C-alpha cells in the first residue's frame, strides 16, 4: 500500500502528463487562466479519462482532492 501524500507532481503522473516542474509550469501557462465559470473538470483540454479521474477524486474527497484543488487554483489564477 502506498502511503505517499499526493503532490502536484504525482497528480500529473497519474494523469499521464509530464510531471517535472518546468512541464507543470508550462501546462499551467498554456491552459490558464480558466474563466471563472469553467470548472476544472469541465476544461476542454482534458481527455475523458482525465476529467473522470479528477471529478471522481473531488466527489469522494479522496487523498487526491487537495492536490486537484491546488491545480484548480493554479489554472484559475490570473497571470
The model carries a pTM of 0.91
- What pLDDT was estimated at residue 1? 46
CA distances from 26 to 18, 21, 35 (A): 10, 9, 18
- What is 8-76's CATH topology? Arc Repressor Mutant, subunit A (1.10.10)
- Predicted confidence (pLDDT) at residue 79 exceeds the cutoff of 80: no
Give per-residue pLDDT as tens, 3-30.
689 999 999 999 999 999 999 999 999 9
CB-based burial of residue 39 (10 Å sphere; 0-12 exposed, 13-18 middle, 19+ buried)? middle
Q: Cell 507532481 maps to which residue?
A: 9
Domain ranges within the chain, ordered by starting residue: 8-76
Distance, in Å, from the CA atom of 19 to the CA atom of 33, rounded to the nearest integer, reads: 19
Distance, in Å, from the CA atom of 1 to the CA atom of 32, rounded to the nearest integer, reads: 34
Amino acid at each position: 500500500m502506498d502511503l505517499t501524500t499526493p503532490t502536484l507532481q504525482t497528480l500529473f503522473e497519474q494523469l499521464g502528463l509530464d510531471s517535472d516542474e518546468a512541464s507543470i509550469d508550462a501546462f499551467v501557462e498554456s491552459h490558464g487562466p480558466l474563466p471563472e465559470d469553467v470548472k476544472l473538470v469541465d476544461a476542454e483540454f482534458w481527455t475523458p479519462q482525465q476529467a473522470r479521474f479528477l471529478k471522481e477524486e473531488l466527489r469522494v474527497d479522496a487523498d487526491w482532492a487537495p492536490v486537484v484543488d491546488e491545480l484548480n487554483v493554479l489554472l484559475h489564477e490570473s497571470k
